[in-house]
Amino acid sequence: MTFIPHVIDGQESESASGARFASVDPWTREPYAEVALGGEQDADRAVRAARRAFDEGPWPRMGFAERGALLHRWVNCFFVRDLRAPFGGVGDSGIGREGGTFSRESFTEPKAVVMQV
């Protein structure tokens, strides 16, 4: 089964606790990936990485126009994500609208082929 880790500070990583959860295909109800289950330590790590990026990275040296152009690229990107990762919300989990088999099926179209045998 595919594993989908956290990405913090540009690095893929397991949860600090090692906890995972199964992401379920909404069509078949079968698990198709294990996803790192974040906790307080993971959130703290992500916030620290974001703070460093804003304080020490290129962001504070950018002008307003450069910042706007950069944001216009992250926010208006179509399908810039890992298609294996669930996206959207279903039920209480918020997981499973798109991703895995469902994503693949959204790019295919059924076709009937008939031939005499």
Looking at residue 58, what is its pLDDT?
87
Looking at residue 47, what is its pLDDT?
94
For each of the domains in the chain, give its residue range(s) and CATH number, in order of start: 2-106 (3.40.605.10)
Looking at residue 16, what is its pLDDT?
96
Token reading at 73: 């690229």
CA 11 to the chain's CA centroid = 14
Q: Which amino acid is at 16?
A: A
Q: Which residues pair with 68 in a beta bridge?
A: none
Looking at residue 107, what is its pLDDT?
62
8 A C-beta contact, residue 16 and residue 42: yes
Distance CA 83, CA 105 (A): 12
Q: Which residues of 11-33 are buried (b: 16+ CB within 10 A; e: fewer)?
A: eeeebbeeebeebbbbeeeeebb
Looking at residue 57, what is its pLDDT?
85
pTM above threshold 0.85: no
Looking at residue 60, what is its pLDDT?
87
Looking at residue 86, what is its pLDDT?
55
Tokens 């992500």 belong to 46
pLDDT digits (tens, 9 = 90+) for 42-64: 999 999 999 998 898 888 899 99
For the chain, 117 residues long, the average pLDDT of each consecutive 10-residue run is 89 94 84 91 94 88 89 65 58 52 62 78
Token reading at 81: 């994500």
